[in-house]
Amino acid sequence: MAEDEQPQITLLTPPDFDLGSFPAQLDAVLAAHPVACLRLGLATRDEDRIMRAADACREVAHRHDVAMVIDTHVVLAQRLGLDGVHLLDGARTVRYARKELGADAIVGAFCGASQHDGMTAGEAGADYIGFGPVGASALGDGTRADLDLFQWWSEVIELPVVAEGALDPDTVAAYAPFTDFFTFGEEIWSTDDPAKALSALTAAMR
C-alpha cells in the first residue's frame, strides 16, 4: 500500500440480527462512512433466513454503491446476485469458487495466521487474503495474526491483505501502515452508535 493511502473499510454483519431494524442501522453507517465492501456473515445455516437477510442488506449496500459478499456460500452468492464470496477455509475452495463465480466475482480467503495458506490462496486465484484475529479473540483457533506477518506481506506480496478480529484503536493504529483493509464487525455493532464507533476506529488509521 502506498504510504499516503490509508486502509479501506469492510463491514461484517453481526452473526444474527433483526431484519426489522438492522437495515436502517446499516444505512446510517454507510451514509456516514466510505465503505468498500459489506460481508454477510450469519451464524445460521437456515437458507431462507440467509436469503432474506442477504436481500435486505444488498438493497442498502447497493444504494450506497458498496459491493457485497457472503461468507462461505458460493451457490447462494450466485443465486442472490451478490458480488462474490468470502471463504473461511483458507485456500481449500478458492479454485472451486473462482470457477463457479467467474473472473469478475470477488473471491476472498480468510487464512487465520498462516502465511503459507495465504500464499496458496493467492496462487489459486483469491482477490484478497484475510488474516486474524489481530487482537485477543475466539476467531479461528485463536492464534493471533501478528504484526510481523502483515509487515512481511506488505513488503513481499502485492495481493491485498485484510486485518480482522478484536480490533481497537491501538491495534488499528499499529496495523494501518501494513494492511490494505480492516474488517469491522462486532467492534461497532455491539455499541449503541455504530457510526460513531466506526469514526473512532477510522480516526486511528491516520
Number of domains the chain contains: 1
Q: What is the percentage of the chain residues whose pLDDT exceeds 90?
A: 93
Can you give the pLDDT at residue 41? 98
Contact 14, 22 (CB under 8 A): yes
Nearest to 164 by CA among 128, 200, 199: 128
| pLDDT (average), residues 181-187 | 98
2 lies in some domain? no
179 lies in some domain? yes
Nearest to 202 by CA among 6, 2, 27, 39: 6
Contact 53, 26 (CB under 8 A): no
164 lies in some domain? yes
Does 3 have pLDDT greater than 60?
Answer: no
Give the Å distances, CA to CA, from 206 to 6, 165, 173, 176.
Answer: 7, 20, 7, 8
What CATH number has the domain bearing residue 37?
A: 3.20.20.70
| pLDDT (average), residues 175-190 | 98
52 lies in some domain? yes
134 lies in some domain? yes
With 0-12 / 13-18 / 19 or more C-beta atoms within 10 angstroms meaning exposed / middle / buried, residue 115 is middle
With 0-12 / 13-18 / 19 or more C-beta atoms within 10 angstroms meaning exposed / middle / buried, residue 172 is buried
C-alpha span between 200 and 1 (Å, rounded): 22
44 lies in some domain? yes
Domain that holds residue 178: 8-203
Confidence grade of residue 51 (pLDDT, cut at 50, 70, 90): very high
C-alpha span between 61 and 30 (Å, rounded): 8
Does 138 have pLDDT greater than 90?
Answer: no
In this structure, the strands spanning 161-164 and 181-184 are parallel
What is the per-residue pLDDT across 61-119, written as a single tens digit (0 to 9) for each? 999 999 999 999 999 999 999 999 999 999 999 999 999 999 999 999 999 999 999 99
Q: What is the percentage of the chain residues whose pLDDT exceeds 70?
A: 98
Q: Taking the complete model, does pTM exceed 0.85, yes or no?
A: yes
36 lies in some domain? yes
1 lies in some domain? no
Can you give the pLDDT at residue 1? 52
DSSP assignment of 146-174 equals -HHHHHHHHHH--S-EEEESS--HHHHHH
Q: Across the chain, what does the average pLDDT equal?
A: 95
C-alpha span between 115 and 37 (Å, rounded): 24
